[in-house]
A = this chain, B = another copy of it.
């Protein structure tokens, strides 16, 4: 596509580098910004610049934070004896939204994925082990990783590293989603929900 302006072309190319946004969507967004008030664009770019240059990661759990230590780690209301291991910061937000977990988190920053060249040393796994060894409080580690091959590999790796320590290692339950229909559940999930059945109470 030929653009009527170099400025448009540059902006479209930059926006189209974002995940899930192609050139057509990028053009639509860019033309939208042109039609709107200039302040809107400046507010957007300022928020993004500030975010990228000022964002910090919690020194304890590596979650995104405005300070050196995040609000969850600082809080006295959170149960420091239960540690929930997740891939990314958005997993923390998702679990916090359920209001079912009152412990603390540890953000790995990804999962082991040899195909993408990500090994254990690229993740915060060593920091996790050190954190657990240093703290006397930790009694349970919940592995809340994606039910994919990479997630399972990472969970297995962490479990092996932790198995000599006097702590309980658990994993989030896998099964048929609430509100889901048995008929439309894939075989592997349904199979796992049968082998992993629990007492009815």
Contacts and interface: CB of A to CB of B under 8 A. Distances in A.
A5 B64 contact: yes
B45 A49 contact: yes
Copies of this protein chain in the complex: 2
Given A55-B8, A64-B4, A90 B49 contact: no
Contact of A14 (B5, B20, B30, B43): B43
Interface stretch (A65-73, A164-172, A192-200): A65-73
Interface residues of A, number: 58
Interface string A86-110: 0011101100110000000000000
A50 interface: yes
A28 interface: yes
Interface string A29-47: 1111110001011111111
A17 interface: yes
A60 B87 CA distance: 54
A50 B13 CA distance: 14
Interface of A: 1-8, 10-11, 13-15, 17-21, 25, 27-34, 38, 40-55, 63-66, 70-72, 88-90, 92-93, 96-97
